[in-house]
Structure 1
Amino acid sequence: MNRRTLLGLSAAGAAGVVAGCSTPQAETPGQRTITWWDHNVNLQKANGAAYEAFTAKSGIAVKYTYHQTAKIGQALQLAKQSNQQPDVHSTAGLEASIPSLIADGWFAPIDWPDDVKKAFASLGGLVEGLHSFDGKLYTFPIFADRQYVAATWFNRDMIGKAGLDPANPPKTFDEFRTACRTVQDTQKGASGMILSLAHTGRMNEHLNSLAQGAGFEGINGVKFATGEFAFDDDAYVAVFEFLASLQADKLIFPGSSSLDDQTARVRWAAGAAGFYLDGPWCSGTVQTEAKQFLPSVDVGPMLQPEAGRPVVAYRGQAGGNYFISGSSKLPAEASELLTGLATKDYWTAIANAMAQPPYDLSVVEGSTAIEPWKRLIGWYADSVFIAPQAVLRNPDVQRVNRHSKAVKPGLGELLQGVFSGQVTDIRGALKKLTDDSAADREQAIKKAVADGAKVSADDWAFSDWKPATDYKNG
């Protein structure tokens, strides 16, 4: 299969999924229906089995609609404005905090019996401030805590043909630059790497992960020990300068500035580039959208600035993926539907789909996932550590989050500016993001305190935090 044929098949398949809805059971006249929107293309099979089991038991149909990750946030905003929200949906692209969305009426509580909640007890449980708010359950984890989203995915066949060793992929910035140049010099028409630069939310995630790998001791720009914003830390500057150097050397696919993650991944699968930075869901999405390419998919760990240092990343305990709409006319029935996602069978289906690592990691080894995906999940166990979370130490942090706003331009927009030449002072631009983020938190704290919250900036500081260890929250 040549590149043109694969691109055509992949793009047509993706367009078909975006344009249409999947209804696992045919609706009958007068039948009650739960509507479900999400961006999880590689969970459609797992979720579809849950829909079918629910419909067989309840007689209620489930009407599913897929939206691209980069577009679902806008679709949900428009649906909220017109009072046409789906009954159940994911929250990708909704940049406000979960507490603020709850306060704005976006979500209804999930009504689960105690025995269903107990399914989570041995694996970490349902946490106030992440899943429950003001004592009411709104969501639940389906994915594991330990993961990062900037793994080095690559086309094994292309790398081999370029004379590189697929068993020893690049691990440092310099090795990666050399590998990209080798691919570009030896594989006609291919770029070294491709980015989903137009998807700024995804780029935010990549940049935050790469900064941790480069030594940033914090998460989302906030240092663990002091609680201070520090987007202008040397680690972030190093990551921006590294990507800017690849752009300057013309090693990045020239159309990356207009690509979202789905389009970039399809082009990568079609042979546009050797390397693609992405999260653990990459191979699962390929399995769904470009299955012919799956045997060529391989992965390396997150890139490091220099050799000899271990990969270290941090992530908080996993929040939830699905929520019941506050405008749903069937909240009790939607709660029952969601019980199908709190089982070992469902977590196994997630592993088979090669999405993010499932909440119960014991199912990974026996899954049908490809070896590179299993290898990556194994790396996570050794290199990703549980981060301190202010909201788990002081629940009143939720009330601050309700007043927080998305600070723009964020990391993704700044990288776009660097690539376009509009941002020439990288550290200066990152310092402004630091200052703007600190100012937003300050105003949010003031509003929360005025509402009666007992909270201060000190709640984000964890002086007892130690690098490369799990932090015991609570």
Structure 2
Amino acid sequence: MTRLTRRGFLGASALTAAGLAAGCGSSDETSGSGGSSGGKASGALDWWDHFSSFQKLNDDWAGKQSSTLGSNVTHTYYDASKAPQAFQLAHQANKMPDVYSNVIGLPLSALVSGKWVHELRLPEETMAKIPQNTLTEGITSLDKKLYGFPLFSFRQSSTLVWMNKDHLTTAGLDPDSPPTDYTGFKDACRKLASAGVKPMTLALGADGGRVRDQVDDMAQAAGFPGYQGLRFATGEYAYHDDSYVTVIEFLKELYDSKFMLPGTNNFSVVDARTRYAAGAVGIFIDGIWCAGGSKALVPTFVDKIASGPILVPTAGTDPWTYRGRPGAAYFVAADSGNPEAASKLIGSFMSEEYQQGMIAAMDQPPLNLDLVANSDAIDAYKKAVTFCKENVFLMPQAIVKNPDVAKVDASRKPITPHVGNIVQGYLGGSIKNLRNDLKKLSDASEADREQAITKAKSSGAKVSEDDYVFGDWKPGADYQPS
């Protein structure tokens, strides 16, 4: 069963994607009931999720909402690696919790038809707090009925530069003036190595899902005018574009120069972040949630954390990236015994108190980014959020242009090897002709979309390749259809 990546919350047009789930932690511990029989008992609500950084916040919030709702709310945390199977088994047994996080990996249309979800009815005051361009037909709504709640802002990145202040100072580098381009980054790595510090790590291993997302980000910052290989203006797949080649060649140079911590080629996200938080490296390329994830692993490390922007090939280049409207983070189960109270519980996540709790956890930023500046979060996290506010823009999406695209997405298939697998193969030496393999990925992606469009049309959907063409897109700005 596939799992929804962090990126899946942020504009993948509800495509099913294998990879790392949205939770950043690795704990196998659960809080709350540890796996109940679902939210069937009268006057009780069960709430399951996989957001490791929010465990204490959600445990405490369950207690507060028990009083507010007049129902006993029990929160249960599942490790991201175990949540999909646990949710699937609960669904098969008709024992789903009333409220659960989106880690299933199915497009909304499949969740509705498969009787996974109940219509979400949020109070008017909650709806008024949700920013524009957040709720979207085909992503959080279907047939004008709201099913999913988008907990996180789309203005975030999986590919920021996180540093160890002490190590950078030892190497004569200024944590407050981090490298921003490839040349500066390589120079920083050389100075760290000369000071006896292993320069860096990143999550190259596992299924390649994280490095896939990061290469997509870096390609955008390198000038690729699209998202996940798809050009905005023409609707064509172009993973073989120069921007992708430039990014992967840069990673290859870092790898061949032995700037990466030994074992990096096999590291999962948790493996890499654990090394960073333990002080084994000077630099870790990770998402905006790195501060919270590192704090959860090594609380005393927090004071050593510094952050920098996504890297660009050439100094002075705008580090712009693009994201789609946020996907659903929470659902109410189709067979919830108390869907009204479950909806109110989800609605409470939009309160200022809960969003401040999210900020304190320093994971993915909440919908209300304005709360971050005056929060108690560390400066490195605030700096990262500010960078994303200024450099992450809303992209055009076929599913927003034509909601029938959801039927295309339901027939899409994961393409392998994907970008992350190609990076793994190229760095490891099994792939010799990088551009050739990227071209194969472009062609396979085009073919898969073509078969999905044909299948969607046969079921009555009014879709075509033109739905993916946005000739009016402009770089460096939120997309507004002309």
TM > 0.5: yes
Q: Report the equivalent of 1:229.
A: 237
Q: TM-score under structure 1 normalisation?
A: 0.88
Cα deviation, residue 235, structure 1: 0.8
- Tell whether the 8 Å contact from 1:50 to 1:337 is kept in structure 2 after alignment: no
Matched, 1:45 2:56: yes
Distance 1:83 1:23 in 2: 18
Distance 1:78 1:350 in 2: 29
Q: Report the equivalent of 1:210.
A: 218
Matched, 1:129 2:125: no
Distance 1:407 1:444 in 2: 13
The aligned amino acid for 2:312 is Q
RMSD over equivalenced CA pairs, Å: 2.6
The aligned amino acid for 1:210 is M
Distance 1:76 1:137 in 2: 21
Q: Report the equivalent of 1:101.
A: 111
Which residues in structure 2 correspond to 1:185-334 (within 5 Å)? 185-187=194-196, 190-198=198-206, 200-334=208-342
Deviation string 1:354-383 (CA, Å, 9 cap, x unpaired) is: 122221122112211111111111112221
The aligned amino acid for 1:43 is F
Cα deviation, residue 124, structure 1: 4.3
Q: Report the equivalent of 1:148.
A: 157
Matched, 1:167 2:179: no
Q: TM-score under structure 2 normalisation?
A: 0.87
SS of corresponding position for 1:21: coil
Distance 1:362 1:402 in 2: 35
Correspondence for 1:177 among 167, 173, 186: 186
Q: Report the equivalent of 2:7.
A: none
SS of corresponding position for 1:444: helix
Distance 2:290 2:380 in 1: 11
Q: Report the equivalent of 1:116.
A: 126
- Unmatched segments (≥5 aa) in structure 2: 1-23
More helix per residue: 1 or 2?
A: 1
Q: Report the equivalent of 1:18.
A: 28
SS of corresponding position for 1:153: strand
Deviation string 1:272-317 (CA, Å, 9 cap, x unpaired) is: 2111111111112222221100000001110011112111111112
Cα deviation, residue 209, structure 1: 0.7
Distance 1:240 1:70, change over 3 A: farther
Deviation string 1:194-235 (CA, Å, 9 cap, x unpaired) is: 435225322222111111111111011111101111111111
Deviation string 1:111-158 (CA, Å, 9 cap, x unpaired) is: 3343432332x5445332232111221112222222221000111111
Distance 1:203 1:458, change over 3 A: same
The aligned amino acid for 1:228 is E
Distance 1:81 1:170 in 2: 50
- Tell whether the 8 Å contact from 1:96 to 1:406 is kept in structure 2 after alignment: no
The aligned amino acid for 1:443 is Q
Distance 1:404 1:225 in 2: 21
SS of corresponding position for 1:18: coil
SS of corresponding position for 1:388: coil
Distance 1:106 1:277 in 2: 35
The aligned amino acid for 2:143 is D
- Tell whether the 8 Å contact from 2:25 to 2:270 is kept in structure 1 after alignment: no
Q: Report the equivalent of 1:8.
A: none
Q: Report the equivalent of 1:468.
A: 476
Matched, 1:375 2:386: no
SS of corresponding position for 1:19: coil
Distance 1:201 1:239 in 2: 16
- Tell whether the 8 Å contact from 2:404 to 2:463 is kept in structure 1 after alignment: yes
Cα deviation, residue 336, structure 1: 2.5
Higher mean alpha-carbon deviation, 67-76 vs 216-225, is at: 67-76
Cα deviation, residue 102, structure 1: 3.1
Identity across matched positions, percent: 37
- Tell whether the 8 Å contact from 2:108 to 2:138 is kept in structure 1 after alignment: no
- Tell whether the 8 Å contact from 1:131 to 1:137 is kept in structure 2 after alignment: yes
- Tell whether the 8 Å contact from 1:213 to 1:313 is kept in structure 2 after alignment: yes
Cα deviation, residue 19, structure 1: 2.8
The aligned amino acid for 1:131 is T
Correspondence for 2:351 among 333, 343, 348: 343
Distance 1:96 1:258 in 2: 28
Higher mean alpha-carbon deviation, 145-154 vs 69-78, is at: 69-78
- Tell whether the 8 Å contact from 1:149 to 1:279 is kept in structure 2 after alignment: yes
- Unmatched segments (≥5 aa) in structure 1: 1-13
Cα deviation, residue 441, structure 1: 0.9
Cα deviation, residue 326, structure 1: 3.5
Count of equivalent residues: 455
- Tell whether the 8 Å contact from 2:176 to 2:306 is kept in structure 1 after alignment: no
Distance 1:103 1:220 in 2: 27
SS of corresponding position for 2:282: strand
